[in-house]
Amino acid sequence: MSEVPMSEVPSSEVPLGGTALRGVRCRACGRTAYPAQEFGCERCGAYGPELEPVELSGHGTVLALLTVHEHPDPAVPTPATVAAVQLDEGPVLRARVDGVPAAGAAVTAVPGESVPVFRPRSGRDAR
């Protein structure tokens, strides 16, 4: 177990994202990014009030998903299913998924216990 390289920062110390997907749109270059922040735009460097907080749709497409069999933090229950999701607005993020059959599925973010969980989008489970 300890042989496998893993972050040793326990998940309890990880800042939580809340249940809404709050992103940011750069007024200077138009880039939409996740998460919301005022530090500066990763494309053009504009910062502070130039970065407009936006509520992201939460809609996206699963690029990949897998089962986590082992995790270094005993507080993280396994097995867990995690996916890379590309949001319709462009950003890619990794999050827990629930009931998603395979990559390519259309998903939407729903409130989880502390962070969002992605579920299949009703009526269009796959693209």
Partner 1 sequence: MTSRRLRDLRPVYVIGVGLHRYQRRSDTSFVELGLTAVRRALADAGLEWTSVEAAYTATTRLGMAVSRPMLRHLGATGIPMTQVENASASGSSAFRLACRDVAAGFADVVLAAGVDKVGKVARAEHLTGLPRPDAGLVVPPVHYGLLAEEYLRARGGTAEDLARVAVKNHGNGAANPYAQRQKARTLEEVLADRPIAGMLTRLQCCPVGEGAAAALVVSGEAVERLGLDAGRAVRVLSSAQRSEELYGAKSFDAELTRTTTAQAVAEAGVTAADIDVVELHDAFTIEELQYVEAMGLCGDGEGPGRLADGEFAVGGRVAVSPSGGLLAMGHPVGPTGVGQIAEITAQLRGEAGARQQPGARLGLAHLVGVGAVCAVHVLAAPGA
Contact call for residues 57 and 87 (beta carbons, < 8 A): yes
Touching partner 1, residues 105-124 (CB under 8 A): 114-116
Distance, CA of 77 to CA of 66 (rounded, Å): 15
Task: Note whether 35 binds partner 1 by CB under 8 A.
Answer: yes
Task: Note whether 71 binds partner 1 by CB under 8 A.
Answer: yes
Task: Note whether 8 binds partner 1 by CB under 8 A.
Answer: yes
DSSP state letters, 15-65: PP--SS-EEEEETTT--EESS--SS--TTT---GGGEEEEE---EEEEEEE
Complex with partner 1: residue 13 or 123, whichever CB lies closer: 13
- Of 25, 26, 51, 83, the residue at the interface with partner 1 (CB under 8 A) is 83
Task: Note whether 16 binds partner 1 by CB under 8 A.
Answer: yes
